[in-house]
Amino acid sequence: MPLLAARGIAARVVTLAGSPQQADGIRRIRRDTLRPLRIPRTIAVLARDARRADAVLATGLWAEAAIAARLARRPLIVRVPGDPAWERAVAAGRPESLAAFQAASLPWRWAAFRAARSAWTRAAERVLVPSAYLAGLVAGWGVPAARLVVVPNAVTAPAGVPPAPDHDLVWLGRMVVQKRLPSLVAAARAAGATLLLAGEGPCRPDPAPGVTMLGLASPDVLARGRIFVQASDYEGLPHAVLEAKARGLAVIATDAGGTAECVRHGIDGLLVPPGDQAALAAAIRTLLHDPARVAAMGAAGRQDVQDRFTPDRMGDALDALLRAVVAGRAARG
């Protein structure tokens, strides 16, 4: 974790991976191990490392980390980028929206996932979220407001002059159902725009004229579009939007979740209602015919990233939070 190391905070990292531990200081547990064997081993490894640390910061493996922190008697901090129970349910075909999922009557399997999610967040001394929208969502899981800390995602604006774009629109991300890529493709075609989609996932849209699809790609692929566009019906705080703004792209996005916290309507992008394909197509047409506005929005977005979403700001916030949690635990004995 370079952000923490730069501030004098040493971190041991434990993660799941497809290969065993390598000589880079990261402890890897094989993902393909049977769950009844993998989960206890993961908890044991986490607890052993936690006993040598001042706190446990979980950005994944939340349930295992919560148990390990309790066994090691160390404070737990979790970072929640969304509702993992809902995302898992939606990927399996559940029909509920994010809002409906929170209180819906569910089959026991999904009710258990939802209950476990709430339990490990309530076990944490602090819960990090990237947006105020997610803070409100997590508060509904029974986490006191005093434990919630908003720390936005961070990106670094690349140096140098990007290559000339070869598409009108570009999208980058995970190809999952909540991204509504078929609607995005349909809106782009209705507006007469070319579209580049870069990413992987189970919801890859069908091929269509004027649409180029790439596999997993780095954020540098964003330079191939003039405008970043998304049609999601849920976003915590869309990191791809920040990456696009850092590269000087105007943004057209649905006003879903925490998107409005990083896209300022009329300043560095346009926001349209989620699920409104016609409004999305109209916004695309508007900017396609106004290149001066696109350039102005791109410049404003790049400046906004440099003002509000830098690694230094994120690192300082994490540093202050970790030190406060450790000092608070020490004061309580």
Q: What is the mean pLDDT of residues 229-256?
A: 96
What's the token pair of residue 297?
Answer: 């929005």
Q: Does the pLDDT at position 23 exceed 60?
A: no
Q: What is the mean pLDDT of residues 53-58?
A: 95
Q: Does the pLDDT at position 303 exceed 80?
A: yes
Which pLDDT belongs to residue 22? Answer: 59
Q: Does the pLDDT at position 199 exceed 80?
A: yes
pLDDT digits (tens, 9 = 90+) for 75-121: 999 999 999 999 999 989 999 999 999 999 999 999 999 999 999 99
Which pLDDT belongs to residue 160? Answer: 73
Distance CA 121, CA 123 (A): 5
Cβ-based burial of 294 (10 A; exposed 0-12, middle 13-18, buried ≥19)? buried
Q: What is the mean pLDDT of residues 170-199?
A: 96
Q: pTM, whole model, 2 decimals?
A: 0.92
Which pLDDT belongs to residue 254? Answer: 98
- Asked if 222 and 172 touch (Cβ cutoff 8 Å), the reply is yes
Q: What is the mean pLDDT of residues 130-154?
A: 96
Cα-based distances in Å from 299 to 4, 244, 280, 288, 304: 30, 11, 22, 17, 9
The domains located in the chain, with CATH, are 2-154+311-332 (3.40.50.2000), 167-308 (3.40.50.2000)
* CA contacts within 13 A on the Cβ side of 322: 21
Distance CA 277, CA 286 (A): 14
Distance CA 80, CA 102 (A): 15
- Say what angle helices 35-51 and 62-72 make with each other, to 10 degrees: 40
Q: What is the mean pLDDT of residues 185-208?
A: 95
